[in-house]
């Protein structure tokens, strides 16, 4: 059996993941045509590269179909309930930085904090007869954050496309989305609430708790961790 590592299958996350491992003596590369999503690993024996979308990796970790995976910390926390019981963070990788934040129309001059948003949501429902809509891909994280901070009278609406455009398109009144610079939000006439950073995300190497760990996989993991200079959690 081999130790399976899931990595993003395209884009800058893939390139930077390959670079991070390569700088530590483990060479990763795509095998075959660019769209085949097959990979190869050199520099250590017994490791198999599995090319996946970043959004698939939390599910594959939770199912135990891969032993290690690189993906955004936001995706793991949002897609996996009790995520820290299903996976272990081995290392933040120092790239893929983005903040999950709540943004509202820039013209809402009196709404700058979560307390302001709570008041605006109550007023919106009283005026319109339905709850203020917040468009997001991150339902679990956003709902938990708003509950902890006492914001009510809202509803989450799913957005799997360009979330920043939902306010302009009148399908939501506010959004909760990932941003690295805020430029796209400003271009869509949105502003970030001052106290509404839900999670500061970055690419992270995760270890599954669900996979089958035989002697061969454990030996390969130990060798890989030594090469990468990473401490392993106690069994």
Let me know if the fold of 3-96+202-228 is the same as that of 98-201.
yes
Question: Domain coordinates of the chain in residue numbers?
Answer: 3-96+202-228, 98-201
d(CA 142, CA 152) in angstroms, rounded, equals 12
pTM above 0.95, yes or no: no
Neighbours of 155 (CB within 10 A): 13
CATH topology of domain 98-201: D-Maltodextrin-Binding Protein; domain 2 (3.40.190)
Looking at residue 228, its pLDDT comes to 94
> What are the residue ranges in the chain where pLDDT is below 50?
35-36
pLDDT at 180: 87
pLDDT of residue 34: 53
Residue 36: per-residue pLDDT: 46
Q: Specify the CATH superfamily of domain 3-96+202-228.
A: Periplasmic binding protein-like II (3.40.190.10)
**Radius of gyration in angstroms for the set of CA atoms belonging to the chain, rounded to a whole number:** 20
pLDDT on residue 33: 53
pLDDT tens column, 92-121: 999 999 999 999 999 999 999 999 999 999
Q: Put the strands of the sheet holding 87-92 in their side by side order.
A: 27-31, 38-42, 47-52, 3-8, 68-72, 203-208, 87-92
């Amino acid at each position: 059996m081999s130790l399976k590592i899931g990595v993003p299958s395209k884009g800058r996350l893939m390139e930077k993941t390959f670079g991070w491992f390569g700088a530590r003596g483990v060479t990763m590369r795509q095998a075959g045509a660019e769209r085949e999503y097959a990979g190869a690993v050199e520099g250590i024996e017994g490791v198999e590269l599995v090319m996946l979308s970043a959004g698939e990796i939390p599910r594959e970790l939770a199912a135990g179909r891969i032993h290690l995976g690189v993906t955004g910390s936001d995706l793991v926390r949002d897609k996996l309930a009790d995520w820290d019981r299903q996976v272990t963070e081995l290392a933040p990788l120092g790239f893929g930085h983005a903040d999950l934040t709540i943004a509202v129309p820039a013209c809402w001059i009196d709404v700058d904090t979560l307390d302001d948003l709570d008041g605006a949501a109550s007023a919106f429902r009283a005026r319109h007869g339905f709850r203020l809509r917040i468009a997001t891909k991150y339902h679990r994280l956003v709902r938990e954050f708003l509950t902890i901070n006492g914001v009510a009278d809202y509803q989450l609406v799913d957005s799997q496309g360009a979330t920043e455009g939902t306010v302009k398109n009148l399908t939501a009144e506010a959004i909760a989305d990932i941003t690295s610079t805020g430029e796209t939000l400003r271009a869509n006439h949105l502003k970030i609430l001052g106290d509404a950073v839900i999670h500061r995300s970055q690419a992270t190497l995760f270890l599954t708790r669900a996979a089958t760990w035989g002697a061969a996989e454990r030996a390969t993991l130990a060798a890989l961790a030594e090469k990468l200079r990473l401490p392993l959690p106690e069994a």
